[in-house]
Amino acid sequence: MPSPPFCPTHDHQHPNVIRNFPNRLRADSGIMIENRDISKARSRHSLISSSLLPFIIIMVAAPFSPLGSLSVFDSYDETPHIGTRFPNKSVQLSRLLEAPNADELLKDLATLVSHRGVVFFTDQDIDVEKQKELGARLGELGGKPATSKLHVHPISEQTPELTADVSVISSEGGIARVGYSNSTRASNGWHTDITFEPVPSDFAILKMHTLPAVGGDTLWASGYEAYDKLSPAYQKFLEGLTALHDGSGFVEYAKEQGLAINEPRGSPENIGTKLQAVHPVIRTHPVTGFKTLFVNRGFTKRIVELHEEESDDLLAYLQRHVSENHDMQVRFRWSKNDVAIWDNRCTFHTATNDYTGFRRGNRVVSIGEKPYFDPASKSRRAALGL
Ligand SMILES: O=C(O)CCC(=O)C(=O)O
Ligand SMILES: [Fe+2]
């Protein structure tokens, strides 16, 4: 196997890395040059003079890759359906932000996150100010409404160190611990961030800087694959429905703590202290165009068009569908200063509260667009021919 020609950091450590190789060629040249196995080319093209063989260019359909300009860096897919990782700490988000082609790199990063659901970066030096800049630019480059900014969480407090558009994710309390109980099933923690907002989130960026020696993994699940695994009849049924999302847990927490609910929260439409919104049960992702399941255990309380008992049963089924299908999940074991960027339009996630000691990180959540369902949109499997 010849070494990939364009990647100075290529180390062949992960078996999946080589999958990016044809795409890298495609990204750079516009065509795909098949030079990986010249012996096969020799037998297929035996009428061609052997002196020409090293220069054979075969036009073949390259497999789809959402990496774009990021294909120059080593990366691998954590699972077939969700999760991509940049394993080398030489890939720093802080440097992508300063690169001469930063707009191209960040737009491609946003596209990659939208396709793969969650993307992991190793040992990052990015500070909170730059994390906020990244959060703002990712969605802007994808063309979201100009009124959509960073989310201000209803119960985030402004401190001398951090503005209210940064959420501290801490084992000691606050946003990540509201409603937490260690005497219920771990899978009750599955949620999608802030779906109680009329204009909910596109991206979230979490950097973990304090970790227990072991434990505290985070899991993500794919909303695209959750849709795709359902039968056509069930898909059709869900496509006609809408659901009420409710963040009343935060309202109660604010009351108990004597806090005011912050508003507006990253969009002129995210106002009021009720923290409720109605969204389609299946939404179309505005970047990929794929259909995705958009109800979650944490915030979705009621399917509007159904009787209460029907709604309870359906939501319980969909929760099991997400939490019990581990073929649509990825589990990430954090190391200090790792960063995860996920798309809140097409994923679910949950923390794992199995550790002792401190665990802390900073999270930035950006506001995207109002969810919609386009009946002409395709599922991910249909669009990619999977
Ligand atoms: O603590 C974690 O692993 C994830 C917390 C969370 O839900 C979030 O940051 O949105
Ligand atoms: Fe979350």
Going by the DSSP 8-state scheme, the letter that residue 343 receives in this structure is E
Query: Which tokens is 175 given?
Result: 């946003």
Q: What is the pLDDT of residues 286-303, one digit of tens each?
A: 999 999 999 999 999 999
Residue 308 has pLDDT above 70, yes or no: yes
Q: In this predicted structure, which of 27-36, 197-206, 247-256, 376-385 has the lowest mean pLDDT?
A: 27-36
Residue 272: closest CA among 358, 379, 196:
196
Query: How would you class 29 by CB atoms within 10 Å of its CB: exposed for 0-12, middle for 13-18, buried for 19 or more?
Result: exposed
Residue 4 has pLDDT above 50, yes or no: no
Q: What is the pLDDT of residues 242-265, one digit of tens each?
A: 999 999 999 999 999 899 999 999
| Ligand 1 site, residue 167, Cβ cutoff 6 A | no
Query: Which tokens is 298 given?
Result: 């944490």
Nearest CA to ligand 1 atom 4: 351
Query: Which tokens is 289 given?
Result: 């165009």
Using left for φ > 0, alpha for ψ between -120 and 50, and beta otherwise, residue 357 falls in left
Residue 114 has pLDDT above 90, yes or no: yes
Residue 384 has pLDDT above 90, yes or no: yes
Residue 285 has pLDDT above 70, yes or no: yes
Task: Give buried/exposed letters for 50-64 (b at 16+ CB in 10 A, else e).
Answer: eeeeeeeeeeeeeee
Residue 289: closest CA among 382, 378, 199:
378
Read off the pLDDT band of 44 (50, 70, 90).
very low
Q: CATH 3.60.130.10 region(s) of the chain? A: 68-384
* C-alpha radius of gyration, the chain, whole number: 22
Residue 47 has pLDDT above 70, yes or no: no
| Ligand 1 site, residue 168, Cβ cutoff 6 A | no
Q: Which ligand is nearest to the CA of 333?
A: 1
3-state helix, strand, coil in the chain (%, to 5): 30, 20, 50
Per-chain residues with Cβ under 5 A from ion ligand 2: 193
Distance 214 CA to ligand 1 centre (A): 17
What is the C-alpha separation between 381 and 379, in angstroms, rounded? 6
| Ligand 1 site, residue 93, Cβ cutoff 6 A | no
pLDDT score, position 124: 98
Residue 95 has pLDDT above 80, yes or no: yes
Read off the pLDDT band of 11 (50, 70, 90).
very low
Query: Which atom number of ligand 1 is nearest to the Cα of residue 217?
Result: 3
| Ligand 1 site, residue 359, Cβ cutoff 6 A | no
Mention every residue, 6+ apart, whose C-beta is less than 8 A from residue 171. 177, 216, 355, 357, 358, 359, 360
Query: How would you class 211 by CB atoms within 10 Å of its CB: exposed for 0-12, middle for 13-18, buried for 19 or more?
Result: buried
Q: What is the pLDDT of residues 330-352, one digit of tens each?
A: 999 999 999 999 999 999 999 99
Q: What is the pLDDT of residues 119-172, one digit of tens each?
A: 999 999 999 999 999 999 999 998 899 999 999 999 988 888 899 999 999 888
Residue 177: closest CA among 354, 353, 381:
353
| Ligand 1 site, residue 363, Cβ cutoff 6 A | yes
Q: Which ligand is nearest to the CA of 365?
A: 1
Residue 60 has pLDDT above 60, yes or no: yes
Residue 204 has pLDDT above 80, yes or no: yes
Q: What is the mean pLDDT of residues 189-212?
A: 97
Nearest CA to ligand 1 atom 1: 351
Residue 223: closest CA among 332, 346, 100:
346
pLDDT score, position 61: 66
Distance 192 CA to ligand 2 centre (A): 6
Nearest CA to ligand 1 atom 6: 176
Mention every residue, 6+ apart, whose C-beta is less than 8 A from residue 219. 329, 330, 331, 332, 349, 350, 352
What is the C-alpha separation between 357 and 80, in angstroms, rounded? 33
Q: Which of 205, 218, 219, 358 to mutate to test the pocket of ligand 1 (most atoms within 8 A of CB)?
A: 218
Read off the pLDDT band of 51 (50, 70, 90).
low
Query: Which atom number of ligand 1 is nearest to the Cα of residue 351?
Result: 3
Q: What is the mean pLDDT of residues 80-103?
A: 98
- What is the set of active-site residues? 191, 193, 349, 363
Read off the pLDDT band of 52 (50, 70, 90).
low
Q: What is the mean pLDDT of residues 222-247?
A: 98
Q: Please state, in angstroms and as integers, the Cα–Cα distance from residue 83 to each residue in 113, 121, 328, following that order.
A: 8, 11, 10
Class of domain 68-384: alpha beta
Query: Which atom number of ligand 1 is nearest to the Cα of residue 191?
Result: 7
Read off the pLDDT band of 370 (50, 70, 90).
very high
Return the higher-pLDDT residue of 127 and 178.
Answer: 127
DSSP strand pairing (242-246 vs 300-303): antiparallel
What average pLDDT does the chain have? 86
Distance 14 CA to ligand 1 centre (A): 27
Query: Which tokens is 230 given?
Result: 């359902």
Q: In this predicted structure, which of 28-32, 80-84, 149-153, 289-293 has the lowest mean pLDDT?
A: 28-32
For the chain, what is the largest distance between any 2 Cα atoms, rounded to a whole number of angstroms? 82
